């Protein structure tokens, strides 16, 4: 290995600048120094550190409390108690023209009567087969919850009363 001559010439100067080791730098002396520090010097030093930490923490808490109190004093907003929520009242729609209203009610009544008559022709109280349950499952998927007259439509498709179809669907 080649060593740079300049570095080789500076090495004795660097070594001469280092402090000379003494007896107190040996390991047995260092162990004694550490033991003395742990017994005599460390407890008061540790006590001072802990005391300083708690004082600093207390000071920060007081500063935060002052910061929180100051905006509260500046911006005081009166608290309004809210009463119960007001709901819009139900308004009955006005009917315009007497002839239209009579026709509409008669149509609705005749439609309801025809569905009741149609249900009376259905098979009521019969045994349910596996095919009936498969049809019921298929039709409940076809007419999801919320469908207008769901059970009446399923009952009409299965040729069974709607109350019986609803009862069997909940089983």
In whole angstroms, give the CA distance from residue 167 to residue 146: 17
- pTM for the whole structure: 0.32
In whole angstroms, give the CA distance from residue 76 to residue 86: 28
Within a 10 A sphere around the Cβ of 134, how many other Cβ atoms? Answer: 10
Structure tokens at 35: 């033991």
Give the three-class secondary structure for 94.
coil
The alpha carbons of the chain give a radius of gyration, in whole angstroms, of 48
Running DSSP on this structure, what letter comes out for residue 25?
A: G
Residues 6+ apart with CB under 8 A from 144: 150
- pLDDT tens digits in sequence order for the chain, 171 residues long: 566 788 888 888 888 888 888 888 899 999 999 999 999 999 999 999 999 999 999 999 999 999 888 755 556 677 777 777 777 776 666 655 554 444 444 455 455 555 555 545 677 777 888 888 999 989 988 888 887 888 899 988 888 888 888 888 887
């Amino acid at each position: 290995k080649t060593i740079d001559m300049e570095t080789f010439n500076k090495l004795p100067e660097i070594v001469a600048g280092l402090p000379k080791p003494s007896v107190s730098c040996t390991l047995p002396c260092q162990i004694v120094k550490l033991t003395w520090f742990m017994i005599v010097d460390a407890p008061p030093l540790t006590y001072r550190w802990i005391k300083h930490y708690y004082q600093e923490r207390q000071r920060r808490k007081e500063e935060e409390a002052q910061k929180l109190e100051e905006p509260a004093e500046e911006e005081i907003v009166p608290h309004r108690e809210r009463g119960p929520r007001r709901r819009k009242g139900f308004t009955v729609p006005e009917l315009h023209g007497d002839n239209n209203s009579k026709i509409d009610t008669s149509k609705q009544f005749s439609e309801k009567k025809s569905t009741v008559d149609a249900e009376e022709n259905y098979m009521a109280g019969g045994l349910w087969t596996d095919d009936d349950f498969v049809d019921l499952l298929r039709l409940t998927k076809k007419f999801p919850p919320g469908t207008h007259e769901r059970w009446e439509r399923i009952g009409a498709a299965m040729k069974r009363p709607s109350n019986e179809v609803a009862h069997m669907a909940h089983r």
